[in-house]
Structure 1
Amino acid sequence: MVAWTEYKEGAKARGALALELYAAVSTPAKEPQDVKAALPDHLAYQAELERAGALALAGPMSDESGENMQGLGLIIYRAESLEAAHALAENDPMHKSGARSFVLRRWMINEGSLNLSVGLSTHTATLS
């Protein structure tokens, strides 16, 4: 097993991006009505984190078939440390209320690409 900091430094030395983010897999812990009741506050919190630059990506996940929603959610945080990301996840109203629980892991982004198209006269942006 390799220590996280050693792995990160090795990735950087190889020319990888080595961008450290934090991935929370959120699962229902109570009844569907409890999750639904916490949803408005959860969405407001997510929007607040997005405005502050602490939320990179978030959304629901399907089951393994890709056809059905199973209640899992994935939230990717930008934070200074695992502890800071843990505090962000704990303060999510879904988790704070106990409607959902989460598992948090560090995630190192090394490869990949994003495409952003900005329409200047149309005031549109498309991310793919």
Structure 2
Amino acid sequence: MTEPLTSVPAAEVKEASKAMLQKQLYAIFTTPVAGIGPVLEHLEEHLAFQVQLERDGILYAAGPMWTDAEDAWEGEGLVVIRAASRSAAIRIAQGDPMHKAGAREFRVRPWMINEGSVTLRLDMSSQSFAIV
């Protein structure tokens, strides 16, 4: 009996998808260490940190992760950033006030975007826009 294949080298995946975008980003999964109380205590400084990452062109997307029932928040979040390497992404995550204070711990995973789309609607008459 042969063992099931559990992984392939990243280079093979890149070669197989070479016609696609292959944009390398980093996903930071962030989870509470001691309940949501400490998370709420550091939320304002965390959001200011996120806004600065956005202004600096580092933040791709971020936000809270709801419970599976979609009716509550237990303090988990997902932050996707642009960085030169996983170690650089870890350094960025370490700078988050939430992580500095010990309210949350994090895990950084490299993530390559290949597929998807973003649609932006711009209404000139009302000077409004929407991501749809």
TM over 0.5: yes
Structure having the higher helix fraction is 1
Q: How big is the shift at 1:31?
A: 4.0
Pair 1:105 & 2:109 matched: yes
From 79, 87, 96, give the equivalent of 2:91: 87
Unaligned runs of 5+ in 1: none
> Greater CA deviation, 115-124 or 91-100?
115-124
Paired positions, count: 126
Q: How big is the shift at 1:56?
A: 0.6
Instruction: Quote the sequence identity (%).
Output: 43
- SS of the aligned residue for 2:78 comes to strand
Matches within 5 A, 1:26-105: 26-105=30-109
Question: Which residue of the partner structure matches residue 118 of structure 1?
Answer: 122
Paired residues of 2:35 and 2:74 also in contact (CA < 8 A): no
Whole-angstrom CA distance in 2 between matches of 1:93 and 1:6: 38
Q: Which one-letter code corresponds to 2:109 in the other structure?
A: R
Q: How big is the shift at 1:108?
A: 1.1
Q: Which one-letter code corresponds to 1:103 in the other structure?
A: R
Q: Which one-letter code corresponds to 1:122 in the other structure?
A: S
Matches within 5 A, 1:6-21: 6-12=12-18, 15-21=19-25
Q: How big is the shift at 1:29?
A: 0.8
> Greater CA deviation, 49-58 or 70-79?
70-79
Bigger CA radius of gyration: 2
Q: How big is the shift at 1:94?
A: 0.4
Pair 1:3 & 2:16 matched: no
